[in-house]
Structure formats: C-alpha cells, structure tokens
C-alpha cells in the first residue's frame, strides 16, 4: 500500500468505527501500556511477546515499539502498539501521552510487579493504578459529553469478564480498561518462606479479582513466559483467551479475569484479633493494612537513584555531547 492508501483506509476507519472484532479484511489496532517496578522485567516480557531475541536495555522514561501479526493467511496484519513506562512510579504522569480519547476503546494496561521486592509491591501498584484510573476516568467523563455511546460501551465492557450471576458483583470495582497483573521473578519468590508466599499470593489474587484483572506469575522460564504471552496476545491481537486456571499457592498462579471468587480467596491472612483491631472503610484498605503489617512499605523515592541519562553511553551523540561540554565549560 502507498501512504495515500493507508491514509484513506485510516479516515474510512475513523468515520465508520466497526465493532471490536472487525471485518475480515480490516486491520485492527490495539495499544498496551506496560508499567510497574523498576527493573521488574517489563522489557524482557515485551521482547518475548514480539519474539525478538535482543537483550533488554534499561528503559528511559516512556518507550514505544510495535508488533504486527496476521489473523489468517493472506489478510492484512493487525498492529499492536506497545508503550513502556520506565522509572517505576517516578514518571507516572507520562501515562497521559499514550492513553487518549482516540484510542481508549482499544487500550489495555499490563502492570508488572516484582515478586522479589514485596516491600515495594503495594506502594508501586497503588500509585500506578490510581493515577492511570484517574486519567482514564477524566477521558470517559469528556467522552460522555462528546460521544456517549462509546463511553457507555467502555463502561459496559469492564463488566464483561464477570458473569451476571457472579456472587461478587457487588464486592468488586473493575478497572475501567482491561488490566493484566504480572508477578515477575517467580524463581526468586519461590525461595521465600511458604507463609510469606501465601500472603503475597492471596493479596495479589484479591487485588486482581477486585479490579477485574487477569493475574499471572512469571520468570525467565520459557513455560511461564508463554502463559504471560498468551494473556498479552489476547489484549494486543485478540487471540483466544486461555480458560485454564492455576490457584495452587505452591505453584505459579494463572487466573484469567473473572475466573476467581472471594469465597475461594478467603479472608485476609491475619488472626481474628488482629483483624478486629484494624480500622478500614473498604475491603481493599483492610487487605492493604494486613499486607503492610508483614511487609512494611519502604519509604523509597524512585527519583533519587535515577542516573543522569546524559551520562549513559547508550544515548551518546557526538555533536550534541561536544556542544553540551562547551556550554558547561
């Protein structure tokens, strides 16, 4: 196709937005934003999804890449835009760049949490999801005025994974756009004390179920990366969703959205007397207090240990660096 053909196709697509499944000859575009702990393995997961063999480099601020895949033989390739937010929670305001009112219908979020750092887990998860949710809600509020049908469709879709008769409908608060939570570095996590593993696994199951998210534990092992890849390919290319479930705490968790329940997860892992002393307004707050009793959050600031990218050899540019040195002098 020439550039003009692509431009005409794009305009037609915008003027006649079809349903999500798309027509047989139509290219669909999805966007996925990866965020989470610093050095948590986001880049590695993206490279595996795109079947690229290169070794991961540290992510600076917000990075973009894309993948293409044909649904069937002789059909145009679908495009998936992958955005990755670096710097843990220090640059969270940058999420406003990839998530816009134009692509909100086809946007999804992957939150990668480092299982080997439980003391940073809740803080990272809470701050990233809170800022993302506020931004998405602002977009939806604007859409309700300009395009109420799309806003209603997005809101309805958040409940699609929970069956109408699911007993937890009144107890959960689904994230406004599709969400996958990945627990990375399972190999290190697996060496933790079994009680610690149980608390982390149970808490992540509750949080994922509460937000209507899928949950998967992964490490560098090929078998586990394939499971994470299946969930991401579902978001990015509409591949079939896996129906398998693994809730055994002694094995890596794999729970697609809507297939868990509060009764299976059970109460927060604390004694009745401890639970009685904790004051919380919502179930989420109660789980947070129980979790942070075992894993007190580190008062860490992501910005402090950010190295100056100007000194990083992977961003060296001779002419720019010479001018910069001259200016400094």
In tens, the pLDDT along 176-204 reads 888 889 888 888 888 888 888 888 888 99
Give domain status of residue 304, yes or no.
no
What is the share, in percent, of the chain residues with pLDDT greater than 90? 2
Q: How many domains does one find in the chain? A: 1
Lowest-confidence region among 32-41, 93-102, 208-217, 267-276: 267-276
Average pLDDT of the segment spanning 96-116:
86
Give the containing element (helix H, strand E) for 122.
helix 118-146
Q: Is 321 within a domain?
A: no
pLDDT at 323: 92
Bridge partners of residue 35, in order along the sequence: 111
Residues in the chain: 329
Residue 154 lies in a domain: yes
Q: Is residue 162 part of a domain?
A: yes
- pLDDT band for 26, please (50, 70, 90 cuts): low
For residue 162, the 8-state DSSP code is S
pLDDT in tens, 45-92: 777 777 777 777 777 788 888 888 776 677 777 888 888 888 777 778
Share of the chain above pLDDT 70, in %: 90
Amino acid 252: pLDDT: 83
The C-alpha angle 183, 89, 225, rounded to 5 degrees, equals 25
Residue 27 scores a pLDDT above 70 = no
**Residue 315 placed within a domain:** no
Does the pLDDT at position 146 exceed 50? yes
Domain of 227, in residue numbers: 28-294
User: Is pTM beyond 0.85 here?
Assistant: no
Mean pLDDT of the chain: 80
278 near 271, Cβ under 8 Å?
Answer: no
pLDDT number for residue 101: 81
Residue 81 lies in a domain: yes
pLDDT in tens, 239-290: 777 777 877 777 888 888 877 778 888 887 777 777 777 777 788 888 888 8
**H or E element, residue 112:** strand 107-114
Q: Which range (9-13, 105-109, 318-322) has the least confidence?
A: 9-13
Q: Compute the distance between CA of residue 81 and CA of residue 78 in angstroms, rounded to an integer.
A: 10
- Residue 36 belongs to domain with CATH number: 3.40.50.300
Does residue 301 form part of some domain?
no
Q: Are residues 209 and 261 in contact, defined by beta-carbon separation less than 8 angstroms?
A: yes
- 289 lies in some domain: yes
Helix (H) or strand (E) holding 14: helix 3-15
Q: Which pLDDT score is estimated for 96?
A: 85
Tokens of 174: 């689904």
Tens digit of pLDDT for each residue in 233-243? 877 777 777 77
């Amino acid at each position: 196709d020439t550039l003009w053909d692509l431009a005409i196709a794009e305009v037609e697509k915008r003027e006649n937005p079809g349903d999500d499944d798309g027509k047989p000859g139509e290219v669909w575009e999805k966007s996925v934003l990866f965020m989470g702990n610093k050095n948590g393995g986001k880049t590695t997961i993206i490279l595996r999804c795109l079947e690229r063999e290169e070794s991961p480099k540290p992510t600076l601020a917000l990075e973009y890449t894309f993948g293409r895949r044909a649904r069937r033989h002789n059909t145009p390739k679908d495009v998936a835009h992958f955005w990755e937010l670096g710097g843990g929670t220090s640059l969270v305001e940058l999420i406003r760049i990839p998530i816009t009112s134009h692509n909100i219908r086809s946007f999804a979020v992957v939150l990668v949490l480092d299982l080997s750092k439980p003391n940073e887990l809740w803080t990272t998860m809470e701050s990233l999801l809170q800022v993302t949710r506020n931004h998405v809600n602002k977009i939806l509020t604007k859409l309700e005025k300009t395009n109420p049908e799309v806003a209603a469709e997005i809101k309805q879709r958040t409940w699609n994974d929970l069956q109408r008769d699911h007993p937890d409908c009144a107890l959960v608060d689904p994230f406004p756009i599709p969400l996958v939570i990945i627990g990375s570095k399972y190999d290190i996590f697996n060496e933790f004390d079994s009680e610690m593993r149980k608390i982390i696994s149970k808490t992540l199951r509750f949080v994922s179920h509460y937000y209507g998210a899928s949950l998967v534990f992964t490490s560098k092992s090929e078998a586990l990366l394939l499971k994470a890849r299946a969930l991401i390919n579902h978001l990015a290319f509409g591949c079939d969703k896996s129906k398998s479930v693994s809730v055994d705490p002694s094995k890596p968790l794999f729970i697609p959205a809507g297939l868990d329940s509060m009764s299976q997860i059970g109460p927060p892992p604390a004694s009745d007397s401890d639970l009685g002393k904790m004051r919380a307004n919502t179930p989420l707050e109660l789980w947070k207090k129980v979790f942070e009793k075992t894993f007190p959050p580190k008062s860490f600031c992501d910005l402090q240990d950010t190295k100056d990218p100007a000194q990083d050899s992977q961003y060296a540019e001779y002419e720019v660096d010479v001018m910069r040195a001259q200016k400094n002098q």
